[in-house]
Structure 1
Amino acid sequence: MKTVKIIGVPEHFNLPWHLAIEEGTFEQRGIDLQWTDIPEGTGKMCQLLADGETDLAIILTEGIVKSITEGNPSKIIQEYIATPLLWGIHVGAQSAYRTIADLENTKAAISRYGSGSHLMAYVHAQNNQWDLDTLQFEIINNLNGAVQGLTDGKADYFMWEHFTTKPLVDDGTFRRLGDCPTPWPCFMIVGTDKFLNGNPRLINHVLEVINTYTRDFKNIPSIDRTLANRYKQKLEDIKSWMALTQWSQEQLSPETLAKVQDTLMHLSLIKDKKASENFLL
């Protein structure tokens, strides 16, 4: 049995992995796939990949592209989610801010620098033609930290996946002022160079298993109810999310990778573009 460490956010996107683990499908291939939830998100996962503390990660596209340009010895193995991520833009329930325009020159809560919440704050600011040099940030580590930060007034707004934060909007903890979708496929399957170079056949087995699950995922009987119960979501919200979400079994295209790099360059978040072979397995 070969042990493989994998990390990802504790969100509904990753249920196919958990089903495959729980049903013993990886074990049937001689793989002990050990999953660890990382509630801090992409910035933390980039660090764990760079430090060699995990073999694989399910991670946001813009975060891993930025991290690889900065020397993270990892590669994108393939896309995981082919559709954009819908980032909700949230303020505290008692906040005086009522519109997106009100948030100009205010402070964004982010899980950490290099995270999706950090990078998408720039994309959102650019969309609204704000001065990027005036962006301010407060590190809050995770969703619980964001609740505390917005409630205490340490930060003014927080961007996080729309449906993950929906229960906090429903219970009156947050108010959502709008949404900002990523301009590219949102989640990638990523591995460290060391692991990928040493285990090419093993990677193929992992992909064969997860791609079988994601290809058929929406056809699993009552999967919407399973998701709603497991992730404490309303059934109507899960149905809306599933209608927006498409899993992928293909590699990220060089053209889309170039778009991500061009955007990060334009936002001054990376210093230069690199050839696709630096990123893609």
Structure 2
Amino acid sequence: RRSPVPHSLRPPLISSLLVAEQPKNKMSTQQKLRIAFVPEHFASPLLQLAAKDESIELVPCPSGTGQIMSAIKANEVDVAIALTESLIAGIAKKTADFKLVGTYVTSPLNWAVIVGKDSKHQSLGDLRGEKIGISRIGSGSQVMASYMALREGWTDKDGNVEPIQFEVLDTFKNLRDGVNDGRAAAFMWEHFTTKPYLNEVRFIGNVPTPWHSWVVVATPSTTAPSSPLRSILESFLSNLTTSIRSFDAADARASSSKEFIKGHFGYPEEDVKAWLEQVSYPKGEVCEVDRAMVEKTLTTLEAAGVLKAPAEGWNLEDFVDTSVAKLQ
């Protein structure tokens, strides 16, 4: 579901950071923790950490959480930072084998609802029964479209969310093209990432997530006590906490963090300031997972028709690896 950084803004800026994380001689024979992430502004504390931590290797997934789950399933990554709703749905549906080990962003994600530049649609109500573009099956763009339908009351007489017709368009560019050439009536994407493309598309509404927007997951082969990656994972979560605190400090938000985002993602200062006013990172440790947040996500995704609870109900330990994370 998630957007790539515009190509013209990406090289060599992000690539220079990824080069910086490559192994030095002393690390060349040591296994590294492979971390899938979406190369967007939310990733700033992770990018800053990767520039100086030789034990991790970042794996960019510009198409978003659907692409990340495919990478996990293919054993291309050990850890991922991605969207809460899609990862929790992925665990419930057994899309790939992983569990939550931490929290990365605690504020909601502001999903914009986007139509073509000359579209007839002017409000969210106009989209009822229309085809919705998504990046991949199981992506945040699909899950959040179902939540939008629930929130907007697009339900039958029994209160069930009406079936939505989805059009899989893969990339952010294809989604933008798709709402202009008629393949889809609308799609959903993060607000600030889409804003540079308002010469191509239009916003007609916003749907914030009712849960923490980004979490950290790891595979069983990474969290196993006998895994050589287990200690690297624990160090990574601790180091990420430190990086977040540095990025999130009030003086950094007003200076170095703001300049980092402007320099590496090319966003105008007014957008960076607006986003920094909205975003919240964990105040405690990254390895803490909020029990109520997981429960609310599951309950809401059930109501939206994304998930169906087993007869015995959900077991939170199926979703959170409590040998690594602190479920609170």
Of Structure 1 and Structure 2, the greater helix share is in 1
TM range (shorter): over 0.9
Q: How far apart are the structure 2 equivalents of 1:275 and 1:56?
A: 22
Of 89, 98, 120 in structure 1, the residue corresponding to residue 144 of structure 2 is 120
Of 91, 111, 132 in structure 2, the residue corresponding to residue 108 of structure 1 is 132
Of 5, 29, 49 in structure 2, the residue corresponding to residue 20 of structure 1 is 49
TM-score, normalised with respect to structure 1: 0.93
Q: How far apart are the structure 2 equivalents of 1:99 and 1:68?
A: 33
Q: Name stretches of at least 5 consecutive residues in structure 2 with no aligned partner.
A: 1-29, 156-160, 322-328
Q: Name stretches of at least 5 consecutive residues in structure 1 with no aligned partner.
A: none
Deviation at 1:111?
0.5
Task: Check the 8 A contact 2:115/2:185 in 1, yes or no.
Answer: yes
Counterpart in the other structure of 1:228: 262
Superposed counterparts of 1:1-281, under 5 Å: 1-22=30-51, 24=52, 26-27=53-54, 31=55, 33-71=56-94, 72-131=96-155, 132-169=161-198, 172-197=199-224, 198=227, 199-219=229-249, 220=252, 221-248=255-282, 249-250=285-286, 251-272=288-309, 273-281=313-321
Task: Check the 8 A contact 2:84/2:215 in 1, yes or no.
Answer: yes
Deviation per CA, 1:218-277: give whole Å up to 9, x if none: 343332132123212121111111111111234222221111111111222222242111
What number of residue pairs does the alignment pair up? 273
Deviation at 1:40?
1.4
Task: Check the 8 A contact 1:50/1:74 in 2, yes or no.
Answer: no
Q: How far apart are the structure 2 equivalents of 1:241 and 1:60?
A: 17
Q: How far apart are the structure 2 equivalents of 1:274 and 1:73?
A: 17
Deviation per CA, 1:194-231: give whole Å up to 9, x if none: 11112332222101211111112034333213212321
Task: Check the 8 A contact 1:140/1:149 in 2, yes or no.
Answer: yes
Of Structure 1 and Structure 2, the greater strand share is in 1
Pairwise CA RMSD of aligned residues? 1.4
Report the 3-state secondary structure (helix = DSSP H, G, I; strand = E; otherwise coil) of the residue aligned with 2:119. coil
Q: What is the identity, as a one-letter code, of the residue corresponding to 1:227?
A: I
Task: Check the 8 A contact 1:8/1:14 in 2, yes or no.
Answer: yes
Q: What is the identity, as a one-letter code, of the residue corresponding to 1:67?
A: G
Q: How far apart are the structure 1 equivalents of 2:200 and 2:149?
A: 24
TM-score, normalised with respect to structure 2: 0.80
